Structure 1
Amino acid sequence: MAIQEGRWDCRSCGTVGILGRRKSCPNCGRSRPEGTRFYLPEDAQEVTDEARLQEARSGADWLCSYCGASNSATLEACGGCGADRADSERQAVRDYALDEIPRSGDNAPDSPARQEGARTPPPRRRGSLRKFLVAGGVVGGILLLLFLVFRPRHETLTVTGFSWEREIDVEAYRTVTEEGWDLPHGARVKKKWRDIHHYEDVLDHYETRTRKVSERVQTGTERYVCGKRDLGNGYFEDRYCTRPKYETRYRTETYREPVYRKEPVYRMKYRYDVEKWVHDRTKRAAGEDREPEWPPLRLAKNERAGKRTEHYFVHFTDEEKKRYRKEVSEAQWRRYEVGKRYSARVSRSGEVLEVTFPETKR
């Protein structure tokens, strides 16, 4: 069992981090009182000195019932006043789970300079920090370069003209020939036949196969460190628990696997004539004026107007006479004025992303 030396704090003068082996405070000389809380720092080293190991294993300290001094379990008389041990109380022995191990004592750590046996923190590794800063600088530089390359730029654009496009789909009511599994209303059957509609999985037979399967088997038990024991004398030792030990074993087993076949499912299929509205043509109109209009339609008795679409474009140039075009709604399109300048955000690829209208004075 690994043994580590703990620490304790003096309640009288506030000294913290006193080595567990000491029975009195090295600062004020007061004896370690009853109920002192021993604690184990995270960086406590394992005790390897044989004399210290014997001291740790000798048992809990006892407290003199006459003067209150703390004494080693190996002493039969008080080292402070010489009184016989008799029925003097012993320091408590406590067990802690790994997540319950005390890491601080009775006093808060006021000043590192007052801690006895405190370890000097290792110097910071400047090399690692430098590498981290260099790598961070490189990544930051790349991100900045990408931002500068793809960041939209602000331009002052002048309106040079307008254009528009309008379209109307024309539909005709015609007789069409189609095929399908169901007959729509008004269909006239030209041909029908049984055809494969889909396939279903049908059990055909079973085949015997083998496979490897794994299972967890207990092979014994093992001891593991499950906590620490406060030995009541300034030292701590590992506390062990026992748990079952398992291993994975494999075996081959035989099983029957179902084999399925694809069985076609037939349904009646039809070829039929039916009257329906179908797309016939698209009529288009376009212009570069401010008077958009729909294309004129001449519809036969079996025709009708279908979907209507419209597009409106504003044309700009920048100060270097580079041309741009932006599609907008009709309402926005009518707000622009030829020759007027607007502030705009333009992507690096030349797309006008946003145009700001000047505020209207009231």
Structure 2
Amino acid sequence: MDEPVYEMLWDCEFCSTRKLLGKTHRYCPNCGAPQNPAKRYFPTEEEKIAVEEHEYHGADRLCVACRTANHAKTKFCVGCGGPMEGAKSVALVSGGGPEGPDRAAMAEVKEWEKREHAGKLKLAAKAGAGLLVLAALVLLGLRLSSKEVELSVNGHHWEREIEVESFRTMKETSWCDSMPLDAYDVLRTREVRSHESVPDGEDCKTVRKDRGDGTFSEEEQCAPRYRQEPVYDHRCRYSVDRWARARSENARGGLSDPPAWPKVRLKREGACEGCEREGARKERFTVAFDDKGKTRTCLFGEDRWRSMAPGSKWKGKVNRLTGLDCSGLTSLP
């Protein structure tokens, strides 16, 4: 079955006669001016006029010499008699909507808006790039703006810590397919785990297509429609017995106190409910320096920490952003 075909409309730009028929009125019946294909537009639903037994040969072509619209098969222009060799097809009306504005004017407006938008984007991009460069330069300047300082050691401090873990029952939840094997007291429920797209018919609309010869056709275009359906799965809430951090034991001192690990008293040893064990061990060795009344600190390994005698002088660099460079300290006589 052929698509239904209807008349396009056009407005005479010389006498302002409106709603002339695109196929029937190749010239304005009021003033005789030739039809300007750029003035064609789609009619409203109430204004549609069907074209019966219309033989379509293609879109009209514009005469190179006088810009008159000619039928696709015309050999010589009906306006000036010039040959139609090399003539280009007229531009088609897009959008498929009802009566619309002048396409040339709209094209000019859209082009201006496009240039305006592009200009704003370029300006914003340049401003953003400038700010990024400025921020990078500021950060670089701060990193490079180090000053040399003379320091004296005025304190030593050490701290050692042992974590204590206890074996206890913990409540956890996960999808049942990832539940640990040693879980117990399991409670299963059905919950939404994800969604899937399920076909749910089609969304159809009527689309108008300008055929370029003063007529247009209509066709129905359909696209599949989907709905989101929940996908259920089993969610498990359960108990598991695990080692977990309970507390920590600490020992602290200075240079005169030999570093030692704290004594840990476990409530009960083994793998029973409430049993305890030693966990991770941590230690920190800190040296404090005097910088003209300002205290600066560094963390070192124990050997380096011991090598810095109280009152000894050191030279180093202080950065405004990162502080004292502890790795670059050199001793002074």
TM-score if structure 1 supplies the norm length? 0.43
Larger Rg belongs to = 1
User: Normalized against structure 2, the TM-score is what?
Assistant: 0.47
More helix per residue: 1 or 2?
Answer: 2
